[in-house]
Structure 1
Amino acid sequence: MDKENADNMKKSASMTLLSHSPSTSSFLNRTKSWSMYEVRGRMIAAVALVCLILLVVYIVPSTNGYSDVETVEFLARRPVRMPKLPSQDIDNKHLMATSSEIYAVVLDAGSTGSRVHVFHFKRTNGPLKLVREVFEQVKPGLSSYADDPKKGAESIRQLLNIALAEVPSELQPRTPVSLLATAGLRLLREGVADTLLKEVRNLIKEYPFLLDEEEDVDIMEGADEGMFSWLTISFMTGDFLSGRNNVAALDLGGGSSQITFIPNQQETLNTVPKDFIKSMELFKKKLNLYTHSYLGYGLMSTRFKLLGGNKKEKQQKLQSVCLPANIRSLWTFGGVPYNVSGESQSSFNSCYSVVKDFVGQKIQAVYELQKHEIYVFSYFYDAAVDSQLIDSDLGGKLVVKDFLRAAKKAFDNPSSKKPFLGLDLLYMYSLLHDGYRLRSKTKVTVIKKIEHVEVSWGLGAAFELLSDSGMIS
């Protein structure tokens, strides 16, 4: 009796379970001999299979753009740690090309100071994404150590230490580093710059970063400086990836000034000197750029020349109509201190005449330029802040004539704390208006940073460094 009751209970349980199936009758024909435990086991297996499918669908990372953005935000707080490099017989370029986390260290040895840019990128299915930049600087510039190269190299050490602290130790052996010098070293006498760079190479070799001694510690060509600055702005504003190609970059450094844009008018190509057009290829795009660097037309070099300075002569005093008559100040240029002062004939008009003549000696007119979206930076930014034309944090948009108005105001109200402000602003106006031939009402954007990234040639140089290292194409 007990056995019969047990069998009836099993059949009843089986019927109850199967009654919920849409194909119960056919299913029963195949399973009527199953026990309740057999059915339960098969149902558990089916549920497990469904769960496994759900795990694959929802847990495997998505490859769309939204997933990439979320990952970048997380990595900005805590970078993923990667294994150490295998032995030398492994194809390291292949490993670097497939790594999702990428760093690049760019050292800028400028005429007035040295800077480090540490860039952290994330490789995605779409464009390369910049996660963050660390930027620091030291003064004076490397060229100021012409008489003590070892001390000059040591001035770079603290910048390398910042990079060492920022890049995860596992990634340091595959992180490329470069030091590129600009106008300050270009202007040194023959042999001096080479000695300085040799000491810098020896210093960098003490660190675990990836270094090509011949290519990655060098004096940068002026045209490259312009192209890399343009690429930084074009990439950060989205102009490069969108293909609009409407950005123009005007950089005013200490020893040189640069102009770079993509010409859209045939007239520009027909009239420009041949060495002003350069080609570059990045992210599988080939571009022809109008770019030129005017050596000796940076702000500090211009001050020196307009004050009557001559490096071939030993001078202690400099005078100019571009400084207010009652101004007496001490100014250091190229590591040499000078006593500077104005003249009795000093005035806004006298200075403008001198500045305009200086600009006209070399600067080429670019009539197409005013049809582009113009960005000015470096010393343009500093002078605009000092004269309260723009916000020091946000930058701002100005018209070219704003520099002229501010210069007039600085001459009318001279300040012993800012003795060069009138001269600097007048030179900027003349460079834009009398040199490049921008109209007085042409708008320019004055910036220092875009999305927390320093506006300079650093990011553009990082792209070339990564490309040469085989990490991007």
Structure 2
Amino acid sequence: SSFFLHLGDFWLQFVLLEVSHPVNLSHTFYGIMFDAGSTGTRIHIYTFIQKDPVELPVLDNEMYHAVKPGLSAYKDKPEEGGNTIRALLKVAKKTVPEVEWKQTPVVLKATAGLRLLPEEKANALLDEVREVFDESPFFVPNNSVSIMNGTNEGVLAWVTVNFLTGHLYAKTRKTVGILDLGGGSTQITFLPKSKKTVFTAPASYIANINMFNHTLQLYTHSYLGNGLVAARLATLGALGADGLDWKVFTSSCLPKKFREDWTFGGITYKVSGIPDGYAGYKLCYYEVMRVVKGIVHQPFEVKGSSIFYAFSYYFDRAVEPGQIQNHHSEMCNKMTKYRPISPFLCMDMTYITCLLKEGFGFKDNTMLQLAKKVNNVETSWALGATFDHFNNLNIH
């Protein structure tokens, strides 16, 4: 009987070994990515499971938290900007198990809000963030705090969406394009099917990215100053203007009786409708055209059947109260009705239409996939950037 028991023990251990063997290969790791945008700072805390050492990891969970305004609003008070990062790191401490803190990388990438600031102001903010990171218990990699270039912003958003939609696992050429509309800049990225798209694009619009030991050529560009909020200023003629203390910037895209002070990136502008002039869709479209026409390049194959995911402000504006049902020309011709939602609604919707049609060259009947989240994860470049950190994608 004792012999049987030992055998039994041995068998039991053998079974446990067999069961635990594959589990040992699978390990959980975490990544913390800060997205310092022009209108807010967001923290993404990702939990990954690496099931197979040669395959892509699986994203198990994302914890997401956001604060407003963005870092650029603290351009004259960098310490206060640093405090917003400190507060968000508390969320990370609650989410990541303490034993993992030392090996969990914390990274902050700033986008158009800081790109639009004078260099010394942007650097003061970044230095402040570095200090906050250094006193945190997390792993701070080299170049942990930086301003991301626009190319990477588009490419990494493309990586995020194609990872979440399962296209990266398939190693296929069947991927989806992305359209990202931020406050300060807008990005377009897709994998061209046609050589002509690559040949007819400006050279700087083609980026190479390493995936699965081969190089993908992506069409990508970021238009600084063409984000939704910066485009409002450009439409008003206020982007980069002087004499802000006494100038009032007017537009027929705003309700006639509208007048207020409006702040972006820590600068205040006096903005108003045209009280004794005209307002409405046609005039507004004409004003907005100047911000788009001749600035935005039309890629050769956008008129084709590619699927594009549109997110950030594209999504936010499309789902605001009552907008899905109404054609946006009505929002311009009945501005007072929509003013409680936002006095900028007509301008924003006209800009988005103009950017997609006159800018990128999408047809009226193009169906864009509007998505704030895919599989319950935020669609932004942050996940792609975390990936890049773990699996050097070597974007160039």
Q: TM-score, normalised by structure 1?
A: 0.76
> Of the candidates 265, 268, 271, which is equivalent to residue 337 of structure 1?
268
Residue of structure 2 equivalent to 1:106 = 33
**Corresponding position of 1:229:** 157
Q: How far is 1:247 from its partner?
A: 0.4
Alpha-carbon separation, structure 2, partners of 1:331 and 1:371: 40
Q: In structure 2, give the amino acid aligned to 1:360.
A: K
Q: Which whole-Å CA distance do the structure 2 matches of 1:357 and 1:118 have between them?
A: 40
Determine helix, strand or coil for the equivalent of 1:311.
coil
Report the counterpart of residue 377 of structure 1 in structure 2.
311
Q: Would you say the 8 A contact 2:244–2:270 is kept in 1? A: no
The CA deviation string for residues 13-62 of structure 1, in whole angstroms up to 9 with x for no partner, is xxxxxxxxxxxxxxxxxxxxxxxxxxxx5xx5256425633652466327
Counterpart pick for 2:347 among 420, 423, 432: 423
What pairs with 1:210-289 in structure 2 (closer than 5 Å)? Answer: 210-213=139-142, 215-242=143-170, 243-289=172-218
| Partner of residue 347, structure 1 | 280
In structure 1, what is the Cα distance between the partners aligned to 2:286 and 2:363?
19
Q: Choose the corresponding residue for 1:409, options 326, 330, 333.
A: 330
Shift of 1:357: 2.8
Question: How big is each residue's C-alpha offset from its partner over 1:182-219, in whole Å with a ceiling of 9 and x where there is no partner?
Answer: 00111111311111111110111001211134x22010
Query: Would you say the 8 A contact 2:177–2:307 is kept in 1?
Result: yes
- 1:167 to 2:96 alignment: yes
Greater radius of gyration (CA) = 1
Q: SS where residue 278 of structure 1 aligns?
A: strand
Amino acid at match of 1:298: G
User: 2:19 maps to what in 1?
Assistant: 61
Distance 1:54 1:190 in 2: 65
In structure 2, the residue corresponding to 1:218 is in which secondary structure?
strand
| Higher relative contact order (Cα pairs below 8 Å, separated by 6+ residues) | 2
Partner of 2:57: 128
1:288-299 alignment runs, 5 A limit: 288-299=217-228
Displacement over 4 Å in runs of 4+: none
**Inter-CA distance 258–162: structure 2 relative to 1 (3 Å threshold):** same
SS at match of 1:239: coil
Does the CA contact (< 8 Å) of 2:190 and 2:219 recur in 1? yes
Distance of 1:449 and 1:389 partners within structure 2: 20
Tell me the distance in 2 between the aligned counterparts of 1:353 and 1:279.
37
Q: Report percent identity of matched pairs.
A: 38
Q: What is the distance in 1 between the residues matched to 2:373 and 2:348?
A: 21
Report the counterpart of residue 441 of structure 1 in structure 2: 365
**Residues 62/265 of structure 1: CA separation in 2 closer, same or farther (3 Å cut):** farther
Report the CA distance between 1:138 and its aligned residue. Answer: 0.8
1:356 alignment counterpart: 289
Q: Does 1:366 align with 2:299?
A: yes
Contact 1:367 1:436 in 2 (8 A): no
The whole-number CA distance in structure 2 between the counterparts of 1:359 and 1:387 is: 27
Specify the code of the residue in structure 2 equivalent to 1:225.
E
8 Å CA contact retained: 1:101, 1:123? yes
Moved more, 151-160 or 50-59: 50-59
- C-alpha separation in 2, matches of 1:56 and 1:294: 60
The offset of 1:387, in angstroms, is: 5.0
User: Could you say which structure has the higher helix fraction?
Assistant: 1
Does structure 1 conserve the Cα–Cα contact (< 8 Å) formed by 2:75 and 2:121? yes
- Give the Å deviation of 1:240: 1.4
Question: Per-residue displacement from partner, 1:349-395 (whole Å, max 9, x unpaired)?
Answer: 011112123211310112312421110000001110115355xxxxx
Question: 1:412 is aligned with what amino acid?
Answer: N
Q: 8 Å contact 2:279–2:333 — kept in the other structure?
A: no
Compared CA separation, residues 336 and 357, structure 1 to 2 (3 A): closer
Structure 2 Cα separation of the partners of residues 158 and 292 of structure 1 = 33
CA distance in 2, matches of 1:328, 1:59: 73
Separation (CA, whole Å) in 1 of partners of 2:75 and 2:56: 42
Q: Is contact 1:323–1:346 with CA below 8 Å preserved after alignment?
A: yes
Question: RMSD between aligned alpha carbons?
Answer: 2.2
| 2:383 corresponds to 1:459 | yes
Q: Which residue matches 2:229?
A: 300
What per-residue deviation string (whole Å, max 9, x for no partner) do you get for residues 111-148 of structure 1?
01111000010110253111100100111111111111
Deviates more, 1:279-288 or 1:439-448: 279-288
Distance 2:20 2:333 in 1: 63
The alpha-carbon deviation at position 283 of structure 1 amounts to 4.7
Change (3 A) 1:430 1:196: same
50-59 vs 314-323, which moves further = 50-59
TM-score, normalised by the number of residues in structure 2: 0.90
CA gap of 1:222–1:297, structure 2 versus 1, over 3 A, is same
Q: SS where residue 371 of structure 1 aligns?
A: coil
Q: Distance in 1 between matches of 2:352 and 2:321?
A: 13
